[in-house]
Chains A and B, each alone.
Chain A
Amino acid sequence: MTDPSITSWHRFAAASTFLPWAERWLPWLGIATAVLLVGGLTWGLVIAPADYQQGESYRIIFVHVPSAWMSMFVYVAMAVASAVYLTWNIKLADSFAAAAAPLGGWFTFLALTTGSLWGRPMWGAWWVWDARLTSELLLLFLYLGVIGLRASVDEPRRAARAAALLAVFGVINVPIIHYSVIWWNTLHQPPTITKFDQPSMHLSMLLPLLVCAIAFTCYFATAVLLRMRCDLLEKEKERRWLKRIYGDPSVSVETLK
């Protein structure tokens, strides 16, 4: 790792390559997010029919399920990025993991709270300690642990490693959440969409749900890039590359090796 050309490339990888790429994609991701989110939520709130059992209360599904899916998807992405960072020491992977953690935490929070608001009228309870809810709550604690570890360890590299290790070990919880409704007797309903035979949800409800899920995914991409951009702007030591990208394109970079 003492070959200067490799070291230089690693040093520049973030600012000179990633940031211009992120800047190009952010507006499109933002537009896609806005269109899909407004469209999907309107479809679910206004156009989709009421449920014959749950009436209009089921419409919480259009924020609850996408949040829950994202809470799991983001954790897996964070764990993969953490593993990449631990294995190859790629800073960008750590930057992604650091940006993803709070977002995943918020998705988990939303899944739990919107689920609670749905559970109260439907089950008669704000909370039950069934396997699905408990493992999702555990996911929130894992996210908080990852965020807290990074914040509390002073030395930045050790902090990043600690957070990455917890992220990787915690990923075992994600399949537990997913299969909890099959492995255990749960109040939370069993899978209706991710079953491999026909989903038992009517298309008039399934389609807006899928649109919302895609919207939440675009949202995550937008939000994570926004956070990474801030992180890199703060930490990137090659200020001239940053000035060139964000201020004056005429800033010379030839003297940088």
Chain B
Amino acid sequence: MADWFAMGGYAGFVWPAYLLAVVVLAGNIVSPLRRFQRLRKALLEQPYDQETT
């Protein structure tokens, strides 16, 4: 297990690469999800007949 984590001595390159990928990918899911929750809340709290045409 420790051997696998050491990645043959390349751990200092492999793990930052994977970490970067996970952070970027996760962020681009979480961010729009949270924005959606906020927008939906604002939409439903709006007075019923507010329409701009």
Contact = CB atoms under 8 A, between A and B. Distances in A.
B42 to A, nearest CB: 9
Given A233-B36, A239-B50, A240-B51, A222 B29 contact: yes
A247 B41 CA distance: 9
Interface stretch (A105-113, A141-149, A162-170): A105-113
A102 B39 CA distance: 20
A227 B8 contact: no
A137 interface: no
Interface stretch (A60-68, A85-93, A153-161): A60-68
Interface residues of B, number: 31
Contacts of A227: 32
Mostly helix, strand, loop or mixed at chain A's interface?
helix
Contact of B39 (A219, A233, A238): A233
Contact of B36 (A46, A63, A230): A230
Contact of A239 (B7, B24, B32, B51): B51
Contact of A63 (B18, B29, B51): B18
Given A59-B7, A59-B14, A230-B35, 20 more contacts: A57-B8, A57-B10, A57-B13, A57-B14, A60-B17, A60-B18, A63-B17, A63-B18, A110-B20, A110-B21, A113-B17, A114-B20, A117-B13, A118-B13, A118-B17, A223-B32, A227-B32, A233-B39, A239-B46, A247-B44
Interface of A: 37, 41, 45-46, 50, 55-57, 59-60, 63-64, 67, 102-103, 106, 109-110, 113-114, 117-118, 120-121, 219, 222-223, 226-227, 229-230, 233-234, 237-240, 242-243, 246-247
